[in-house]
Amino acid sequence: MSDYLDPSGKHLLFTGARTANTFAETPVSDAELTDIWELAKWAPTSANSQPLRVLYVHPGEGRDRLVKHMNEGNRAKTAAAPAVAVLAMDTEFHEHIPTVLPFRPELKDAFAANETMRTNTATFNATLQAGYFILAVRAHGLAAGPMSGFDADGLNAEFFPDGRFRALLVVNIGHPGENPWFARLPRLSPDDVLQWA
Ligand SMILES: Cc1cc2nc3c(=O)[nH]c(=O)nc-3n(C[C@H](O)[C@H](O)[C@H](O)COP(=O)(O)O)c2cc1C
């Protein structure tokens, strides 16, 4: 067993992975969707806070309720994807702190007393976990289609009416269909991005 990802692994997760815009009819099982989370959960968050929550929306009535909150250009592919995940942050993630950070349970009370710190921690770490989630989808040989183009207030009222969870990203999941990719867009070069000190 190697202790690094070989080129085919890097191809699967990064260099060859694309954002899918159409999907084959091949179904994605609930077991696969559960396994995606079982993989993504191991990637790190601050204070092991793990504020991401995942709502999988099956085709049918639930999907209809979701599609109406997507931006026009995102509706057809959200309706057609075999599986769709709504990635949300749990604004009350600190309730789990005694379990996930057992050597510092008092941090739960610190988060409870400071809404700004709690919201910032939830937003940053759930967004980080959304990135991990996309890579976990790819690791299962599936394509992801992440979308931030939706009416967040409408979606939250539809699926999370008590206000505890707030949607961050909707991700279509499946095997690529016909003409699934837009043209590959350029990525920034090391000169644009890297600094050395
Ligand atoms: C956070 C996020 C939000 C996105 N929102 C949308 C969206 O609302 N609609 C859409 O068609 N594509 C959306 N995309 C897809 C990006 O445009 C696409 O991933 C990017 O251009 C890279 O494409 P590639 O993976 O095929 O190289 C989103 C991607 C991310 C990561």
DSSP string, the chain: --SS--HHHHIIIIIS--B-SSB-S----HHHHHHHHHHHTTS--GGG---EEEEEE-TTHHHHHHHTTB-HHHHHHHHH-SEEEEEEEETTGGGGHHHHSTT-TTHHHHHHH-HHHHHHHHHHHHHHHHHHHHHHHHHTT-EEEEE--B-HHHHHHHH-TTSSEEEEEEEEEE-B-SS--PPPPP---HHHH----
Atom 7, ligand 1: which residue's CA is nearest? 147
Q: How far is the CA of 42 from the centre of ligand 1 (A)?
A: 24
Strand order in the sheet with 83-90: 52-57, 83-90, 165-174, 143-147
Q: How far is the CA of 37 from the centre of ligand 1 (A)?
A: 21
Residue to probe by mutation, ligand 1, list 52, 137, 147, 179, most atoms within 8 Å of CB: 147
CATH number of the structural domain spanning residue 112 = 3.40.109.10
Atom 12, ligand 1: which residue's CA is nearest? 147
Q: How far is the CA of 193 from the centre of ligand 1 (A)?
A: 20
Count of structural domains within the chain:
1
Q: Tell whether 11 is covered by a domain.
A: no
* pLDDT tens by residue, 131-188: 999 999 999 999 999 999 999 999 999 999 999 999 999 999 999 999 999 999 999 9
Going through 20-130 in order, the beta strands assigned E by DSSP cover: 52-57, 83-90
Question: What is each CA distance from 90 to 27, 93, 95, in whole angstroms?
Answer: 29, 5, 10
Q: Tell whether 2 is covered by a domain.
A: no
Residue numbers in the chain where pLDDT is lower than 50: none
| Residue 41: per-residue pLDDT | 98
| Residue 1: per-residue pLDDT | 57
Q: How far is the CA of 145 from the centre of ligand 1 (A)?
A: 7
Q: Tell whether 117 is covered by a domain.
A: yes
Q: Tell whether 184 is covered by a domain.
A: no
68 lies in which domain range? 19-176
